Structure 1
Amino acid sequence: MHPLLQHINKQIVLEETDFNVFLGIFNTKEYSKNHLLVQPGQKIEHQYFVLKGCLRTYLIDSSGKEHTMQFAVENWWVSDYLAYYKGGESIFFVECLEDCELMRVRKEDLEGMFLSLSITETYFRLQLENAFAAFQKRILSSLNLTAKERYSQFIQIYPDIEQRVKNYQIASYLGITPESLSRLRKNRIASDES
């Protein structure tokens, strides 16, 4: 079964014939490691479903510090959603951390599909609800949890990602220094061994 259909069928039931119609609005592209899929100032026309690879959404503040907003691995969606949905220019970078195979869809094509195959709109509404809840949870964790608790939560969300991304990128996601991340890892390993 196609990975996107498997992903969709976790939330709604989409018949394979309807999925084949839906699949027609996507195109699959391969991107090499370090490719910048999105850069600040761009007009964003696509969102992407990850078939293979790992990506990172981040911004650089006025002092040059990177802030990682999201990692996207297989079966995740990624884009600069502020620009995608609101039609403005991107403020984020979306970088391929590995060689990636992505399915991309244009907003206009997706909106047309919502009219002709309304169950797809239900799927994307559910995706947005889940994403909104996840981002609120992330904001709450950054306000209320210790670095150790945020790291534990990160491991639950992205269980295998530590082998795929750099330490400073994880630290940037957690809002801590790479040195603090190293200490958290050492303490976690020590507690796992005891």
Structure 2
Amino acid sequence: MKKYTVQDVFKGVNFSLLELEIAEKAFEEILVKKGDVLLTPGQFVPYQYFVFSGCLRTYFISETGKEYTLQFAIKDWWITDYTAFFTNEKSMFYVDCVTDAVICKISKESMEQLYKEVPQIESFFRVKMERFFGSYQKRILSDLASSAEEKYLRFVKSYPDIEKNIKNYHLASYLGITTESLSRVRHELAKK
């Protein structure tokens, strides 16, 4: 039995009863467990996911075996390999569950159909994508120009409730630093 509704996904969007019924059919709510992998490199990307509860992450493993975390997704966030999802290419990334989570998934085809049948959803996603793109650019600039301490403090501000649920190497890979540097930053901040 569903625990959440489309209104939980599209906060602030007013639907008619018919639009609500159409939108509800496009999404599938699923429960995922810590460690479950939703996407691996080389796969076509059939879905994007909305997080109702829990934490997921997108990451990449280089040819040398180094892991790079690109995104954490917590309550009310979307996650997938967006490049592959929108271009019908194969994924470059993994998406896995950091904690048990309740999520819903929607296919690209269902999304395109919703845009036609419920136009305010297209507007909703356009605004979301604009904000995501702006945030992504800010993160890139921050990664290039900020100290490890500044990156860590920005992370804690952006994700106040998940640090205790993720492994140190996940956080370090997201910040682009080593786990030793992360420990040093935390130690220095504790002294202040």
Same fold (TM over 0.5): yes
Question: What is the identity percentage for the equivalent residue pairs of Structure 1 and Structure 2?
Answer: 40
Q: Is the 8 A contact 2:40 2:94 kept in 1?
A: yes
- RMSD (Å), alpha carbons: 1.6
Q: Which residue of 1 aligns with 2:93?
A: 92
2: CA distance between counterparts of 1:2 and 1:47?
17
Counterpart for residue 115 of structure 1: 116
Q: Which residue of 2 aligns with 1:31?
A: 32
Instruction: Name the CA distance, whole Å, in 1 between partners of 2:122 and 2:78.
Output: 15
Tell me the CA shift for residue 4 of structure 1.
5.1
Does structure 2 retain, via aligned residues, the 8 Å contact 1:46–1:79? Answer: yes
Hey, what's the Cα distance between the residues in 2 that align with 1:8 and 1:140? Answer: 30
Given that 1:40 and 1:92 are in contact with CA atoms closer than 8 Å, whether structure 2 keeps it comes out as yes
Q: Is the 8 A contact 2:9 2:50 kept in 1?
A: no
Q: After TM superposition, give the deviation of residue 164 of structure 1 in Å.
A: 0.8
* In structure 2, C-alpha distance between the alignment counterparts of 1:3 and 1:144, rounded to whole Å: 41
Say which of 4, 7, 17 aligns to 1:5: 7
Equivalent residue, structure 1, for 2:137: 136
Deviation at 1:16, TM superposition (A): 6.1
Match of 2:59, SS state, is strand
**In structure 1, C-alpha distance between the alignment counterparts of 2:176 and 2:97, rounded to whole Å:** 21
**Deviation (angstroms), 1:7:** 5.1
SS of residue paired to 1:24:
helix
The answer on whether the counterparts of 1:44 and 1:87 sit within 8 Å (CA) in structure 2 is yes
Query: Which runs of 5 or more residues in structure 1 are unaligned?
Result: none
TM-score by length of 1: 0.92
Aligned mates of 1:154, 1:84 — CA distance in 2: 26
Residue 21 of structure 1: how far off its partner (Å): 2.6
The alpha-carbon distance between structure 1 residues 102 and 16, as it changes in their structure 2 partners (threshold 3 A), is farther
Once the two structures are TM-superposed, the CA of residue 190 in structure 1 deviates from its matched residue by 2.1
**Whole-Å separation in 1 of the counterparts to 2:166 and 2:6:** 24
Write the letter of the residue equivalent to 2:174.
Y
Tell me the equivalent position of 1:146: 147
Contact conserved, 1:3 with 1:51, CA < 8 A, in 2? Answer: no
Distance 1:32 1:13 in 2: 30
**Matched AA of 1:5:** Q
* Contact 2:6/2:23, CA 8 A, preserved across alignment: no
**1:114 Cα shift?**
0.4
Q: Write the letter of the residue equivalent to 2:160.
A: P
Q: Which runs of 4+ in 1 moved over 4 A?
A: 1-4
Query: Any gaps of 5 or more consecutive residues in structure 2?
Result: none
> Structure 2 counterpart of 1:103, which letter?
C
Letter in 1 for 2:14: L
Which residue identity does 1:61 align to in structure 2?
A: S
Change (3 A) 1:16 1:76: farther
- TM-score, normalized by length of structure 2? 0.93
Judge conservation of contact 2:7–2:13 (CA < 8 Å) in 1: no
SS in 1 for 2:31: strand
Tell me how far apart the structure 1 counterparts of residues 8 and 190 of structure 2 sit (CA, whole Å). Answer: 35
1:62, CA displacement in angstroms? Answer: 1.2
* Equivalent residues, number: 189
Q: Which amino acid aligns with 1:121?
A: E
Q: CA offset at residue 75 of structure 1?
A: 1.0
